[in-house]
Amino acid sequence: MTPQDASQRNAELCQRAPVVPVLVINDASKARPLAEALVAGGLPALEVTLRTPQALDAISEMAKVEGGVVGAGTLLTPNDVKAAKAAGALFGVSPGATDALLQACEDEDMPLLPGVATASEAMRLLERGYTTQKFFPAEANGGAPALKAIGAPIPQVKFCPTGGISMKNVNDYLKLSNTLCVGGSWVAPADLVEKSDWSAIEELAREAASLTV
């Protein structure tokens, strides 16, 4: 897969809904009903972070949900890419980007949304062909004003900002011309997942899906 193909597929993915849920799953038995609730609420693209021992099993369960597109977040190494793809992930997300990680995703036909924090990083990825990128950690890096400033001289790149985004500030990002969607964990709070309150999560997803880009 070329970087251009990866960027095109990720752009299409980001345009399915204004929010991509960022999920840290500690119990794989809850993965499928969680995915069903989020998809039913209008958020089909799901990012499961590889931060827990249950993550790969959770991806496998979520991959069975009709209408959902599950990806793996926190990809750090080529081995992460191979494991995520074997588990059923259809796209990848990383906090940053290394040559080894980029090459692994290209070799494995895994569309990658690579993370950047600076204009130089965005330019380097653009030079390689990645026109769809992740701005991370968004709030810690100056928030929407910083992303707007970075985007002004690099209009070729579109972003999915992630990190510290909630319903309180999401519209600040979505109104930017260089933002395709945002990543957020607020649509699946840990307490609601723990209680298996899928109806409440579906409602949060529906609220997020109604946002305008």
User: pLDDT tens across 120-145, in order?
Assistant: 999 999 999 999 999 999 999 999 99
The reported pTM is 0.96
Is residue 213 scored above 90 in pLDDT?
Answer: no
Q: Which of 47, 61, 106, 202 is catalytic?
A: 47
Read off the pLDDT of each residue in 100-104 and give the average, rounded to a whole number.
98
Rounded to the nearest integer, the mean pLDDT of the chain is 97
Task: Return the ∠ at Cα 13 (arms to 151 and 160), rounded to 5°.
Answer: 30
47 is catalytic: yes
85 is catalytic: no
Q: Which of 30, 85, 106, 134 is catalytic?
A: 134
How far apart CA 1 and CA 56 sit, in angstroms, is: 23
List Cα–Cα distances, 135 to 98, 125, 158, 180, 183, in angstroms: 15, 12, 9, 11, 10
How far apart CA 100 and CA 170 sit, in angstroms, is: 32
pLDDT band at 89, cuts 50/70/90? very high
Q: Provide the β-strand partners of residue 144.
A: none
Q: Provide the β-strand partners of residue 48.
A: 23, 72
Read off the pLDDT of each residue in 171-198 and give the average, rounded to a whole number.
98
**Strand, coil or helix: 86:** helix
User: pLDDT tens across 55-83, in order?
Assistant: 999 999 999 999 999 999 999 999 999 99
